[in-house]
Amino acid sequence: MRRPGVFLLLTLLLTGFSAAAQPPQEAPAPFARANVVLVRTTARPDSVLQTLRQYLTARGFLPDSMDAGRGLLTTTVVVPARTLAEQMKISARRMPDGWRLTALYTIEGPLNSATGFAAQYLGLESAPNKIAFRTLEEIARAVPRGTLRYSRSKVRFGAFTKLEDALRMPW
């Protein structure tokens, strides 16, 4: 009598594990909790990096690193921040089929401390995480000849992670 219940439980567990092991899905439009913007383009990688750097600098972002060999561009965060651009760390990475853009935004606390959160498509348009995601989306549109897709990546930091640690973690 108990075997069918155990069998059903094992089936559900195995199905859940196999679904978790699958790569994240891409979508043509933002979906709830999306936190990655993928850009497919035929533009040369060095052209994409230069365009993104100019675009970000013109909008008040502070460049942190640019590595043409690895296809990487990041911005830096300032605490205390005066503008949204100073609150966000943008990461653009070249992938085999295009570019992967992610963002971290900070919320400041007492004594010049801050906490980092992943920009994601969640909540009202006025929510900080969605404002940061929309900013990331705007930056992705600056990529020449780019087509946007959306995905979700596991974020390895949360509200209790020190900002310094969150800034170092890839996602």
Instruction: Let me know if residue 9 belongs to a domain.
Output: no
Instruction: Let me know if residue 105 belongs to a domain.
Output: yes
Number of domains, the chain: 1
Instruction: Let me know if residue 148 belongs to a domain.
Output: yes
Instruction: Let me know if residue 132 belongs to a domain.
Output: yes
Confidence at residue 20, expressed as pLDDT on a 0 to 100 scale: 45
Say which CATH number the domain at 119 has.
3.30.310
Instruction: Let me know if residue 94 belongs to a domain.
Output: yes
Q: Hey, what are 75's tokens? A: 């911005």
Task: Summarize the confidence of residues 88-111 as an average pLDDT.
Answer: 93
Question: Can you give the residue range of the structural domain that contains 139?
Answer: 23-168
**Longest Cα–Cα distance in the chain:** 69
Instruction: Let me know if residue 31 belongs to a domain.
Output: yes
Write down the mean pLDDT value for the chain: 85
The rounded radius of gyration (Å) of the Cα atoms in the chain is 19
Instruction: Let me know if residue 5 belongs to a domain.
Output: no
Task: Summarize the confidence of residues 7-29 as an average pLDDT.
Answer: 56
Instruction: Let me know if residue 112 belongs to a domain.
Output: yes
Confidence at residue 112, expressed as pLDDT on a 0 to 100 scale: 74
Number of alpha carbons in the 13 Å side-chain half-sphere of residue 58 = 8
Q: Is 24 helix (H, G, I), strand (E, B) or coil?
A: coil
State the pairing for strand pair 98-108/114-118: antiparallel
